[in-house]
Structure 1
Amino acid sequence: MDVSCAFPTALSTPDDIALAERLGYARAWVYDTPQQSPDVWMTLALAAERTDRIGIGPGVLVPSLRHPMVNAAATATLAALAPGRTAVSFGTGFTGRRAMGYRAVTWAYMDSYIRAFRALLRGEVIEWEGAQMQMLHPDGHAPARPVDVPILIGALGPKGHKVATELGDGLYVTLQLPDFLREYSWVPYLAWGTVLDEGEDPDSERVRAAGGPGWALAYHGAYEFGGPDAVRGLPGGEQWLEVVERAPADRRHLTVHSGHCVTINEADRAAWDAGGHAMLREATISGTADEVRGRIEELAGSGVTEIVFQPCGPDTHRELERFREAVG
């Protein structure tokens, strides 16, 4: 299994990726969340200049955020800056859309978008929104077409599986493992957590800062996909909802996704303090080094080929170093 990392795009991310390269990580994926992050492509370009070996790419791009020509041109640019190291992943949009009040894009749209994106990179003339277009970059403006870059698809259900099978080079997954996982030879699994020191209190401030943002995804995901009733079934769920429901209904998504994957927000803290922290090991890959290694071995046995660890908290170096040591 490859050991990779991911970052919720920040101004420090290019340096974080350079650190990950020194620590031996295979690849670094960077989120496409413009409502809380710097531009993913600018960040990756800076990372390309500061690294030599580590694979880099957006994980995941949300198609509705950019015209396919824009993403194709950006992909070609990154492929020129980091030849042989670039990969791209697409998803229907969790934080990248829901934090702005939208639902996920449809798989029919994903299918047409990725087909257009692939065709542009091959140098073909395509039709998009009723117009004919082609990558016209002269020499020195982008690599010559075709631009060959692996494309992964974030999918959990049968519609996404169909698109990933037809158009993807691998399956990018998180939160749960779909039944069709073993049908793919490249399967990165995005996970959060923290390696605890022996005897360390899992309710400590350090653990909350490092493991809390990933743990909070259990509440964010339950709310978005199952509604309030799904959250009530979680430890501290009533306290979490109490904070969220103070906001007007049309702005609750702002409360839910504030600090998403970076820090715990007011609702998350209420759930944590009400006993929700007891779910840390279940919701994330957190525990002693031996426990973390055991979880990774289970994932490998399930068909995951690349573990993607997102560090959180104020000490990124510590989190990246301890996780890499734990996995071995």
Structure 2
Amino acid sequence: MEVSCAFPTALSSPDHIALAERLGYDRAWVYDTPQQSPDVWMTLALAAERTERIGIGPGVLVPSLRHPMVNASATATLAALAPGRVTVAFGTGFTGRRAMGYRAVPWSFMDAYLRAYRGLLRGEVVEWEGSRMRMLHPDGHAPARPVDVPVLVGALGPKGNKVATELGDGLFATLQVPEFTSDYAHSAYLAWGTVLDEDERPDSEHARLAGGPGWALSLHGAYEFGGPDAVRALPGGDEWLDVVTASPETERHLSIHSGHCVELNAADRAAWDAGGHSTLRDVTLSGTRDEIRAKLGDLHAGGVTEIVFQPCGPAPESELERFLDAARG
């Protein structure tokens, strides 16, 4: 199983990707979350210039944020800067849309978008929004078409699985491992967590800072996909809802997604302090070194071919080192 890493795109991400290469990670992904991050393509271009071996790519692009020509041109640019190292992943927008108050894009839109995007990279004339277009980049402006890069699709249900099967080269999953994961030769799984010391409690300061942001996704996901009742069923859920529902309904998404994948926001901290930390091992890739290796074995048995670990907290360098040591021994 490949061991990769991911970063919520930040100004420091190019340097962290260079560090991941030195440590021995196979690939580094960065998020397409413009409401809280610098531009994903600029960040990847800087990372390409600072690295030589590690695979790089956006994970995941949200198609509604850019015209397919823009993403196709950016993909071609990155492929020229890092030949043979680029993989691209697309998703419907858990954070990249919901944090701005939108719902996820429909799979029918994803289907049409990927057909246009991949057609452009092949050098074909495609139709988008009623117009016919083709990549017209002359020599020196982009690699000659076709530009061949693997494309993964973030799918959890049957509609996404259909699109990924027809238009993708693999799967990019998070929050849960779909039952069809083993159907793909390349199945990346994005996870958060931290390596705990043998006698470390799940409510330690280190666990909160390094494991907490990933743990909070269990609350964010429960609310987005199951509503308030799903959150109330979780330890600390009532306290989390008390903070979130204090915001006007039209701005509630701002309270939910503030600090997403980076730090605990006010609602997350209320839930953590109310005992929510008790689920840290259950909802994240957290545990002792041996516990994490066992969890990785289970993921691999379920069809995951690439584990993607996102470090959190004030010491990402240490988190990257500790996780890689646990994963590879």
What is the TM-score with the length of structure 2 in the denominator?
0.99
- State the one-letter code of the partner of 1:75: T
- Report matched runs for 1:233-272 at 5 Å: 233-272=233-272
Does 2:117 correspond to 1:117?
Answer: yes
Q: Deviations over 1:268-301 (max 9, x none)?
A: 0000000000000001011110111110011011
Return the letter of the residue paired with 2:87: A
Amino acid at match of 1:95: T
Measure how far apart 1:201 and its partner are: 2.3
Distance across 1 between alignment mates of 2:174 and 2:201: 27
3-state SS, counterpart of residue 246 of structure 1: coil
The residue that corresponds to 1:10 in the other structure is 10
State the match for 1:103 in structure 2: 103
Task: Give the Cα–Cα distance (whole angstroms) in 2 for the partners of residues 71 and 303 of structure 1.
Answer: 29
Distance in structure 2 (CA, Å) of the matches to 1:273 and 1:197: 21
2:312 paired residue number: 312
Partner in structure 1 of residue 62 of structure 2? 62
- The one-letter code matched in structure 2 to 1:23 is L
CA distance in 2, matches of 1:132, 1:160: 26
Shift of 1:178: 1.2
1:276: which partner in 2? 276
Q: Deviations over 1:127-169 (max 9, x none)?
A: 1101111100111000000000000000011110100000000
The yes-or-no answer on 1:142 pairing with 2:142 is yes
Which residue matches 1:132?
A: 132
- 1:179 maps to 2:199: no
Structure 1 position 156 matched with structure 2 position 159: no
**Which residue of structure 2 lines up, in the alignment, with residue 206 of structure 1?**
206
Take 2:199 and 2:156, find their aligned partners in 1: how far apart are those partners? 36
Residue 254 of structure 1, CA deviation = 0.2
Partner residue in 1 for 2:297: 297
Aligned positions, number: 328
- Give the AA of the match of 2:283: A
Counterpart-to-counterpart distance in 2, 1:300 and 1:127: 40
- Partner-residue secondary structure (3-state), 1:254: helix
Return the alpha-carbon distance in structure 2 between the equivalents of residues 218 and 207 of structure 1.
16
One-letter code of the match for 2:66? R
Aligned partners of 1:118, 1:90: CA distance in 2, in Å? 12
Alignment of 1:46-57 (within 5 A): 46-57=46-57
Report the 3-state secondary structure (helix = DSSP H, G, I; strand = E; otherwise coil) of the residue aligned with 1:264.
coil
* 1:78 alignment counterpart: 78
Residue identity opposite 1:49 in structure 2:
E
Partner SS, residue 37 of structure 2: coil
Q: Distance in 1 between matches of 2:180 and 2:285?
A: 22
Query: What are the Cα deviations for residues 10-65 of structure 1, in whole angstroms up to 9, with x where unaligned?
Result: 00000000000011000001100000000000000000000000000000000000
* Partner-residue secondary structure (3-state), 1:99: helix
Ranges in structure 1 where 5+ consecutive residues have no aligned partner: none
The secondary structure found in structure 2 opposite 1:11 is coil
Alignment-derived partner of residue 189 in structure 1: 189
Give SS of 1:14's match. Answer: helix
Question: What's the counterpart of residue 30 of structure 2?
Answer: 30
In 2: Cα distance, 1:164 partner to 1:196 partner: 35
Look up the SS of the partner of 2:97 in the other structure. Answer: helix
RMSD: 0.5
Q: Which runs of 5+ in 2 are unaligned?
A: none
Letter aligned with residue 240 of structure 2:
W
Separation in 1, partners of 2:296, 2:192: 12
Answer yes or no: is 1:324 the counterpart of 2:324. yes
- One-letter amino acid of the structure 2 residue matched with residue 58 of structure 1: P
Q: Take 2:182 and 2:203, find their aligned partners in 1: how far apart are those partners?
A: 36
**Letter aligned with residue 199 of structure 1:** D
Give the TM-score normalised by the residue count of structure 1: 0.99
Q: Percent identity?
A: 76
AA at the equivalent of 2:276 = G
1:87-102 matches, cutoff 5 A: 87-102=87-102
What one-letter code is carried by the residue in structure 2 that aligns with 1:81?
L
The residue that corresponds to 2:286 in the other structure is 286
Give the Å deviation of 1:198.
Answer: 2.1
